Amino acid sequence: MKESNNSSAWTRYVEAKRHALSDSKQVQPAGTLEELEAAIAEAAATSGIPETGMPPRAVVHPSKGGQLSRWFYLLLVLLFAGLAASLIWWGYKHYS
C-alpha cells in the first residue's frame, strides 16, 4: 500500500486484512463490514490460527490490583493506629 494512494480507511482495512490472511484462499472481497468480518473469521477458523494472532492483554500482563489494594489498606490501618497512639501520647503528656 502506498502513502500517495488516496483510498479510504475502509479500503485500507480490507486490504490489510486480505494481506494478513493472504495464504488462505477463502477470503472473498466483501461489501459490508459484517460480510468481511464473517469471511475473516471463517478463514481464520479453517486455517487454525486465531483471528488476531495474539493472546489477550490480561494473559500477557496480569493485573496487580488485588496486591496493591491489600498494601494500601494495610497502610491505612497502620496510619490510623499511629495517629491514635500519637494522640493518646500527646494527651497524657500535656494533660496528665
**DSSP-assigned letters across all residues of the chain:** --TT----HHHHHHHHHHHHTTT-TT----SSHHHHHHHHHHHHHHHTS-SS-S--HHHHS---HHHHHHHHHHHHHHHHHHHHHHHHHHHHHHH-
Q: What does each of the 96 residues of the chain score in pLDDT, given as a tens digit?
A: 455 555 677 777 777 777 766 655 554 555 777 887 777 777 777 766 665 666 677 777 888 888 889 999 999 999 999 999 999 999 999 998
pTM of the prediction?
0.38
Residue 76 CA to residue 84 CA, distance in Å, equals 12
Lookup: cell for 49:
490460527
